[in-house]
């Protein structure tokens, strides 16, 4: 039996997931979700329970949209192959969606100019060299070659021995001192040039692609995450849910950016519990 973690110790303002009202759950039409640490298990892989949870949500007519720091190359695969209705990648730099009617990919970028994106990448790679000199234990993320807009600095995914979360925040500060925007995930420090965020792109596609308004998206969308780089999404969405892992980041997150609810289990187990809560009492619809 899995040990359920007490969220109240770290997030006094957050409620346990089971306190989300039936009325709120019944209004959910979108599940926006982080991937690493939220859909994945302790080994970093995507377990069957997460994939099944996404399929069950879509079968009930709920759109599933991963919101991730993972690269454009991964997002192309996710949009084509996963039970998802699109994916926001590289921390809000892009949105990919497969148009089922034409079997073509729809691609939206925060920075529409390919020339500017290429120039920014050159600057980022130069900045990474400075990071490496100051923090010699880090490595570029193994997925860096598939990225179009940011640099991902591995501090504990493949790096051994892994660095600490405290180390990651020092790397983040260093990147910011060089003029970049930087965020800490459970495995990487991601840095980029530009003012785009996961939240800005999420709001844009909910409006422009799915036809929602600022008010309606707050009633219809759940956001699920697990770490500091989810804080802006936690703060904005009324139905934000942190996996139990989130307690490790409590000290770095102001109270207004804490999730509104906390799942009792970590990672994929917590996401599966969230999906079951949202689906409670709903009948499956036509599977797309």
CATH topology of domain 15-110+196-279: Rossmann fold (3.40.50)
**Tell me: the pLDDT tens digits for 150-196?**
999 999 999 999 999 999 999 999 999 999 999 998 899 999 999 99
Longest dimension (CA), the chain: 56
101-151 pLDDT, tens digit per residue, is 888 999 999 999 999 999 999 999 999 999 999 999 999 999 999 999 999
**What topology does CATH give the domain 114-192?**
Hypothetical Protein Ta0175; Chain: A, domain 2 (3.90.1070)
Residue 153, pLDDT score:
98
29 by Cβ neighbours in 10 Å (0-12 / 13-18 / 19+) ranks as middle
Q: Are 5 and 264 in contact (CB under 8 A)?
A: yes
Contacts of 97 (CB under 8 A, 6+ apart): 79, 85, 86, 87, 105, 106, 209
Global pTM reads 0.89
Domains of the chain, by residue range, sit at 15-110+196-279, 114-192
pLDDT at position 11, please? 52
User: What's phi and psi for 136, nearest 5 deg?
Assistant: -65, -15
């Amino acid at each position: 039996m899995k040990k359920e973690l007490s969220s109240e110790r770290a997030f006094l303002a957050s409620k346990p997931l089971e306190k989300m009202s039936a009325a709120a759950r019944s209004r959910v039409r979108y599940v926006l979700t982080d991937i690493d640490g939220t859909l994945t298990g302790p080994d970093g892989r995507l377990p069957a329970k997460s994939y099944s949870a996404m399929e069950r949500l879509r079968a009930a007519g709920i759109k599933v949209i991963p919101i991730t720091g993972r690269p454009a190359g991964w997002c192309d695969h996710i949009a084509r192959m996963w039970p998802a209705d699109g994916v926001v990648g590289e921390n809000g730099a892009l949105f990919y969606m497969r148009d089922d009617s034409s079997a073509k990919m729809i691609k939206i970028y925060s920075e529409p100019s390919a020339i500017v994106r290429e120039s920014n990448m050159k600057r980022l790679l130069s900045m990474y060299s400075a990071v490496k000199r100051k923090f010699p234990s880090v490595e570029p993320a193994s997925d860096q070659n598939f990225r179009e807009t940011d640099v991902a600095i591995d501090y504990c995914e493949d790096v051994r021995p892994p660095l600490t979360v405290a180390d990651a925040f020092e790397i983040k500060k260093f990147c910011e001192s060089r003029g970049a925007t930087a965020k800490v995930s459970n495995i990487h420090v991601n840095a980029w040039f530009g003012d785009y965020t996961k939240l800005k792109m999420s709001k844009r596609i909910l409006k422009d692609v799915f036809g929602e308004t600022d008010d309606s998206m707050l009633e219809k969308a759940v956001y699920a995450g697990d770490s500091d780089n989810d804080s802006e999404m936690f703060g904005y969405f009324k139905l934000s849910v942190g996996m139990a892992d989130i307690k490790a980041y409590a000290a770095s997150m102001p109270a207004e950016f804490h999730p509104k609810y906390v799942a009792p289990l970590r990672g994929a187990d917590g996401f599966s519990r969230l999906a079951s809560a949202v689906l409670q009492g709903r009948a499956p619809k036509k599977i797309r």
